[in-house]
Structures are given as structure tokens and as C-alpha cells.
Chains A and B, each alone.
Chain A
């Protein structure tokens, strides 16, 4: 089975721009969660999607949004980028909803905002 894939792997943007990141889960997985990872801050939960519905959301501003398509692929969008948005963005897929099942992480997208 192919693992979780994320595109692009690296991205450089300037302040004020917007960005869209993509995540393709493992075949058959319907839950996709997104995380922001920065040094010293661990994994910060952004949101979880299950069957095209956002089931849960972390404490991030409205500039961060996402969606999930009928094939379970998910996208994350950040508008009006700030320097502090520079981070590794990880998505993870799992068989079921609620994150009480093993999450399989993608390689991440490294976003640099200048």
C-alpha cells in the first residue's frame, strides 16, 4: 500500500501571500488530520476531516482552513501568510475518525515565509 503523500515538499512564500498544501491519504483511510510542527512547539493540531466534514479544529486563526474531497484527499490553505507560519506541516491519515486509531503521517511540507 502506498503511504501518505504530501505536495509540495518545500515551499517559499512571502508575507501576505496565500498557500495551498495537499495531502493524499492511504487508500481506504477516511480521516485526515493536519498538524503544524515547529522546533520546541511539538505537534500543534490544526483540524481533522472525516468523510468530507471537518470534525474538529485546533486553536488556529481563521487564516488556516482546509477541506476534504470525496476521494479523501485533503487540502489546507493559509491566507495572508505571516513570518510565524514558517513550519513543517504534516498531515496524517487513519482508518477511522476521532484519532483513536493509528495515524500514518506524511513526509510533510516545509513552508518558509520571508
Chain B
């Protein structure tokens, strides 16, 4: 079936460095790609999203890039801070079954 692969499952970076999380999707008709952040013990919250008619979107230290040909999209966090520590989930909206398919999540650890 349709799926979204997310890598890495755990990412540890030094505070101030950049972090990149990558996702690959299977349905070429997918047209919406959100990223959610879930801090420990809290609910997931949308941090950024991108639609298939856009190649890149930025919001302060966070950016998402989309490569429709390769069917992958990435989350970039620059100048990481302790509060960036969380689990990040990517997702892709599959037009084939009209459903949001989620990646397995990436645990981001920011080392002081």
C-alpha cells in the first residue's frame, strides 16, 4: 500500500548546528505535505506544511523542501536550540485513497 518513509529515526545534533529530516512518499499524486512536532508528553502540533505547487517554504529557522520528481521532502532546522528537542512527524496526503499517511517519526536530540 501507500507509505511514507522517514529517516533518520533518531538524530542527535549539537546546539546551534542544523538538522535535516527526510521523508519519501510512494504516491506521485500526493499534493500536501505537513510536518508536525510532538514534544514529550504533549500533543502533535503543525510546524510547517507545503503543497505540491511549491518547491520550498520557510518560516524563520524552519524550512521544508519538496522534490516531486524524486518523491521526497525534507525538513531543515537551522541554529538548533534546546526547545527543538522533540519527535517530528512528516506526512503526505495520498490522493489515491484520500488519506494522510504518516512517517514513523524522528526523535531529534539537541546536545548542549
Residue positions of A touching B, CB distance < 8 A = 33, 40-45, 48, 55-56, 58-59, 90, 92, 98-100, 102-103, 105-108
CB pair B44 A56 closer than 8 Å: no
Report the bound CA distance from A56 to B95 in whole Å.
12
- Return the contact of B99 from the options A90, A99, A103, A108 (Cβ within 8 A): A99
Instruction: List the 3 closest A-B pairs by CB distance, nearest first.
Output: A105-B43, A99-B100, A42-B104
Interface majority SS on B: helix, strand, loop or mixed? strand
B49 near A56 with CB under 8 A, answer no
Q: Which of chain A's residues have a CB closer than 8 A to the CB of B105? A: 42-43
A98 to B93, CA, bound (A): 8
Contact status A45-B101, CB under 8 Å: yes
B69 close to chain A: CB less than 8 A? no
Q: Is the CB of A55 within 8 A of B45?
A: no
A92 cross-chain contacts in B, Cβ below 8 A: 44
A42 touches B99 (CB 8 A): no
- Does the CB pair A100–B32 fall under 8 Å? yes
Name the B residues within 8 Å of A106 (CB-CB): 43
A65 to B34, CA, bound (A): 26
Q: How far is the CB of A8 from chain B (nearest CB, A)?
A: 16
CA A103 to CA B45, docked complex, whole Å: 8
13 residue pairs from A and B, CB less than 8 Å apart: A42-B89, A45-B99, A45-B100, A55-B98, A56-B99, A59-B1, A98-B93, A99-B93, A99-B99, A100-B31, A100-B32, A103-B34, A103-B46
